[in-house]
Amino acid sequence: MKIVVDINHPAHVHFFKNFIRPMSKNGHEILITASDKDISIRLLERYGFPFVNLGSYGTTLPSKAINLPLLDWRMYQAVRGFYPDIFLGAGSIRAAHVS
């Protein structure tokens, strides 16, 4: 099975790590996409998970208005050739947009 896991917050790394490892060991293909939020990227690197960095939402309302569509586009670019069977995310609006 091909699975996309979308990480939007550092807590999501901790939540999904115990899913990603056994599923990978059982032969499932996992594609991790991640927003650059707080320490989420550093956590993924520390756990040794390969991932696609989609970028940051920004810190101001105007930057978020600009970056949200960019992150959606980058998510689409990351998964379009992967042909996932399922998207997983904790409150991930991108997974709903792409699927």
Q: What domain range is 84 assigned to?
A: 2-98
What's the CA gap between 12 and 20, in Å, rounded? 12
Tell me the whole-structure pTM to 2 decimals.
0.88
CA–chain centroid gap for 19, Å, is 14
Return the amino acid letter for 59.
T
> Which residues of the chain carry a pLDDT beneath 50?
none
CA–chain centroid gap for 98, Å, is 12
Q: What is the pLDDT of residue 93?
A: 61
CATH of the domain at 56: 3.40.50.2000
What's the CA gap between 82 and 78, in Å, rounded? 8
Domains in the chain, number: 1
3-state SS assignment for residue 92: coil
